[in-house]
Structure 1
Amino acid sequence: MQKIPSLKTCFDEIEETNGDDECRAWLDRVLDAKVELATFVAARRGGGRATEYVGFLKGSFNFSLRFKFSDGGPDAIIRFPKPGHTATALRDEKVANEVQVMEYLNQNTTIPIPRVHSWGLTSESPQQFGPFIIMDYVEGTLLSTVLKQPMKSDQEDMILDPSIDNAILNKVYHQLADYLLQLSQLSFTRIGAISKDGDTWSITKRPLTYNMNELATVAGYSDDLFPTSTFDRASDYLNSVAHEHLAHLWTQRNLADDPEIAQARFIARHRFVQLIPKYCIDDAGPFIPFCDDLRPSNMLVHPQTLQITAVLDFEFTNAMPAQFTYDPPWWLLLSGPEVWLDRGSIEEFRNCYEPRMEQFLRALELVEGMSVPGGEQLTKPRLSTRMRDSWRSGRFWFDYAARKSFELDAIYWAALHDGGTGIELLDDEARAELEPFIEKKKEQLMAYKEECTARFSQASR
């Protein structure tokens, strides 16, 4: 049996540190401007004046300040994407897209979304802090907090509590299944960002994705390599994503510590391109609103009733190939499969995931048996059937790899590779590129390590 080298998630530490430094400096400026921001939020919100700064909320990509008001209305937050953690060139685009999606989903689903009072681009913000959204603060507990296994430290991976009461999980799954079913009934004729022209919702701009932001912030990936337009076919989009994965392979200098890892990553990414015809379905549409980050960590619940009170963070939501919606949710164990893949144990993931997937699909089947908003008829085959097919066929793994440049290689070798070394499956052009690629990664790694030594030894003085 072929031994596969460790292919753990790997970021460029220099890019990551630069981003953290940029973010820290920006956070200091924002916190120093609390009084100015309170006045700004009150003016944009309308109603009473701001009477109290309550505190801040910090997520992976965003930073929010919360204020109380004299009119007794709900507290409001102003939320900025964090520079360094959101690529500077993408921040305005990210916020503009998200506000449009929030309005669209408010109009077309019953998903609870916070009320937006105002929003603007960087040029409209105090001290050019960045694009912003001002919205109601919603009370609630993070759903992930209710569901997770107790953690000894923040360094541990967040995992679903294996001993959680099934009644709790069933109540949560029923609500989430309803949201996903509603989303599956919406469709567009192109792949891209959702926007409004007059009274018509359409797709006129490129898709801005979670993966694009990751590449731009922690891989040293150039913005000008990203797509610039919409897509009319799923296969065209998947080929564009495959190009992104291959460009990442050559760009990130520390992606391979040795020739064995370099070869494994090279094979995985070239094989991904070859697998597109096998796994691409519904090539001409429909294209369905899909949010990479729709997961319990971005949902609030009432701690006693477990009723979901808000779904947050619709950044990186686009009309996407329908097959992404037709996958069973990747977040059923709270963390994604890469946590288990980094340990080299896909079987452990499957053993933990499959019972929860069945439990979720039973909840979805119950929801499907009930009426759909507006009295519409469910499409055939049903979403639950499509999700079972995705898991059974392995398309779940292909689609997850499509959206995750940093996890693609481990996913390919654990779940998509079908025997042999993989070299024999490459075309002649790719085989001819392999040795020069390995040499290139050696040179890049040497230069990267020298830069790391200079950068971090200087920082430690």
Structure 2
Amino acid sequence: MPPQKTSSLKTYFDNIAVTNGDDECRAWLERVLDLKTELATFVADHREGNGTGNYVSFLKGSFNFSFSFSFSFTDGGPDAIIRSPKPGHMATALRDEKVTNEVQVMEYLAQNTTIPLPRVHSWGLTAESLKQLGPFIIMDSVDGMLLSTLLKRQSENGEEVILLNQDFDNTALDKIYYQIADGMLQLSQLTTFTHIGAISKRHGSNIWSVIRRPLTYNMNELMTVAGYPANKFPTAPFDRASDYFRSVANEHLNHLRTQRNLADDAGIVQKRFVARYQFAQLIPKYCVDDAGPFIPFCNDMRPSNMLIDPDTLRITAVLYFEFTNTMPAQFTYDPPWWLLLSGPEWWLDRCSMEEFVTDYKPRMEQFLRALERVGKEASLKKQPSGTLLSTRMRGSWRSGRFWFNYAARKSFEVDGVYWAALHDGSSSVQLFSEAVHAEIEDLTKMKMEQLKAYKEECTA
């Protein structure tokens, strides 16, 4: 079908929720900044080595706030940072859960892969933190610049979006892709799990299992910028991929029902409903390996979360593993969504599917060639088994499963992705049952009432 622009379905955050979150975060930051001296002592007491730390700088990320401290060479330990998730930008109710999950994943990966990770010295929950500031991780400070900074094109006209510099040297990009491909191949070959969720190590053993629900990036976004009720999220792991996808489809529909400013008129309500309703109908088509395997999947393993030595082009650290869970293996078998640095929604909002594909496919092929080189070298060390990861990724792209998986992880983007990539032109609202028609009618009325109340609250 011809490429479709989806600007009318651009998804906006709930500005009231965003403002409240910003206020909460600002008050927390003011409190934290007043405690730099005490934090230096806290970090010194919770890291390897001796001595007192000296404050160096701070860094604000999307979800975290980090302080960097230096230590002398004579105290027996490296420089360190302390990182905490920010309230307001990271749902307060999820902060302890997020840090617990991330530390467990980092330990698991440090044991089972050669992915470069900062060494964790100490971590704790809110109850164990300095003056109850919140959960924390204390880890080595690693030198390097953000890989996304090295790869991005120069901004134009104050443009804030980060896009790949298409003139970046191909030989250098091959070297960078090779290292990331090596990490992704290692992740794909990890021990598989029987459930979808957060991994943890059994107390007093080296046995890893899944006993908690998957905590995802999408869940955090829905809670912090959409007003989504926390009691509608899953509370336990899943043992079937189809059950997980049905839970996600339910999240998408609940998002439409609960975010008050998600539709400006009746037509947009209908288009969003159809996209989310039909997404659920696509589960039998795109869900494969229903009973597993389930593999640790990091949706955020991308250049903006990696450090690189710009002189040697060696990746020195992968920084964040928040929202990493065991997931349906088909997520691991997708080509990376971040090869143009910003996600596909940037093109779908402003341009067209055709323009995204034109820019994306050459980079995808370049990455898959790097992955094939990594796979060939790995096969020389041990007997290969199963289908090559690069072959699986090409299959995901050709079949359209790439788009289904992407939409599964993005309640804010599912509408644009559905209409641009998953809609086959055959489904029609007229073919829906009377019950579904009644649901659309009731939903439209509710959304218009919600929007009116939202606008009045914004004005007030």
With the shorter chain as reference, the TM-score category is over 0.9
Aligned pair 1:196/2:198, yes or no?
A: no
CA distance in 2, matches of 1:215, 1:23: 17
Once residues 351 and 432 of structure 2 are traced to their aligned partners in structure 1, the CA distance between those partners, rounded to angstroms, is 25
Residue aligning to 2:163: 159
Per the alignment, in what secondary structure is the counterpart of residue 66 of structure 2?
A: strand
Q: Does 1:415 align with 2:395?
A: no
Report deviation, 1:127: 1.3
Question: Which residue in the other structure is 2:17 paired with?
Answer: 15
CA shift at 1:153, angstroms? Answer: 6.7
Match in the other structure for 1:174:
178
- Residues 425/358 of structure 1: CA separation in 2 closer, same or farther (3 Å cut): farther
Native 8 Å contact 1:241 1:402 kept in 2: yes
Q: Is the 8 A contact 1:5 1:260 kept in 2?
A: no
Q: Which residue number in structure 2 is paired with residue 59 of structure 1?
A: 61
Within-5 A mapping of 1:238-249? 238-249=245-256
TM-score, normalised with respect to structure 1: 0.96
* Aligned mate of 1:342, from 346, 349, 352: 349
| Cα drift, residue 10 of structure 1 | 1.3
Equivalent-residue separation in structure 2 for 1:69 and 1:305 (angstroms): 26
Q: Aligned to 1:27, what secondary structure does the other structure show?
A: helix
Match of 2:313 in 1: 306
Query: Residues 296 and 412 (structure 1 numbering): CA distance in 2 closer, same or farther, change over 3 Å?
Result: same
1:40 aligns with 2:42: yes
Q: Which SS does the other structure have where 1:63 is aligned? A: strand
Which residue identity does 1:10 align to in structure 2? Answer: Y
Question: 1:365 and 2:362 equivalent?
Answer: no
Deviation at 1:376, TM superposition (A): 4.6
Counterpart amino acid of 2:19?
T
2:259 is the counterpart of 1:252: yes
Q: How does 1:222-233 map to 2 (within 5 A)?
A: 222-233=229-240
CA drift of 1:48 comes to 2.0
Contact 1:5–1:261 (Cα < 8 Å) also in 2 = no
- CA deviations 1:383-426 (Å, max 9, x no partner) are 11110010001000000000000000000000000115631454
Q: Tell me whether 1:438 sits opposite 2:444 in the alignment.
A: yes
Q: 1:131 aligns to what?
A: 135
**In the aligned structure 2, how far is the partner of 1:8 from the partner of 1:135?**
38
Partner amino acid, structure 2, of 1:94: K
1:278 and 2:285 are equivalent in the alignment: yes
Which residue identity is paired with 1:100?
Q
Q: Displacement, 1:49? A: 2.3
**Residues 202-217 of structure 1 mapped to structure 2, 5 A cutoff:** 202-217=209-224
Aligned residues: 453
The one-letter code of the counterpart of 2:179 is: Q
What TM-score comes out, normalization by structure 2 length?
0.96
The 3-state SS of whatever aligns with 1:151 is coil
Q: Distance in 2 between matches of 1:304 and 1:114?
A: 20
The yes-or-no answer on 1:288 pairing with 2:302 is no
Q: For the structure 1 residues 365 and 215, does the alpha-carbon distance in structure 2 shift closer, same or farther, using more than 3 Å as the test?
A: same
- The correspondence for 2:90, drawn from 86, 92, 99, is 86
SS at match of 2:442: helix
> Residues 315 and 3 from structure 1, CA distance in 2 versus in 1: closer, same or farther, beyond 3 angstroms?
closer
Q: 1:345 Cα deviation (Å)? A: 1.1
User: In structure 2, what residue type is equivalent to 1:231?
Assistant: F
Shift of residue 85 of structure 1?
0.5
2:31 alignment partner AA: R
1:380 partner SS: coil
2:82 aligns to what SS in structure 1? Answer: strand
Q: Which amino acid aligns with 1:97?
A: N
Residue type at the aligned position of 1:151:
S
Give the match's secondary structure for 1:6: helix
Contact 1:192 1:207 (8 Å CA) reproduced? yes
1:259/1:379 Cα in 2 relative to 1: closer, same or farther (>3 Å)? farther
Residue pair 1:291, 1:317 contacting (<8 A) in 2 also: yes
Whole-Å separation in 2 of the counterparts to 1:315 and 1:235:
24
1:147 partnered with 2:151 = yes
Mapped partners of 2:324, 2:432: distance in 1? 34
Give the 3 Å change call, closer, same or farther, for CA 3–19 of structure 1 in structure 2. Answer: closer
Deviation at 1:3, TM superposition (A): 8.8
Q: Is the 8 A contact 1:205 1:229 kept in 2?
A: yes
RMSD: 1.6
Q: What's the counterpart of residue 241 of structure 2?
A: 234
Alpha-carbon spacing, 1:92–1:217, altered in 2? closer, same or farther (3 Å)? same
Q: Give the unaligned 5+ runs of structure 1.
A: 455-461
- What CA distance in whole angstroms lies between the structure 2 residues aligned with 1:266 and 1:161? 37
Q: How much identity, in percent, do the aligned residues show?
A: 69
Q: Which moved more, 1:207-216 or 1:68-77?
A: 68-77
- Matched residue, 2:406: 400
Residue 370 of structure 1 aligns to a residue whose secondary structure is helix
CA apart distance, 1:379: 3.3
Q: Are the equivalent residues in 2 in contact too, given 1:37–1:126 (CA < 8 A)? A: yes
Q: Contact 1:271–1:426 (CA<8 Å) still a contact in 2?
A: no
Per the TM alignment, residue 75 of structure 1 is displaced from its structure 2 partner at its CA by 1.0
Matches of 1:113 and 1:182 in 2, distance apart?
A: 14
* Per-residue Cα deviation, 1:202-257 (whole angstroms, up to 9, x for no partner): 11100000000000100000111100000111101000111111111100000001
- The CA deviation at 1:347 is 0.9
Give, in angstroms, the shift of residue 381 of structure 1.
1.4
CA contact (8 A) 2:56 2:70 kept: yes
- 1:415-459 deviations in Å (ceiling 9; x for gaps): 0001156314544432221111111110000000000111xxxxx
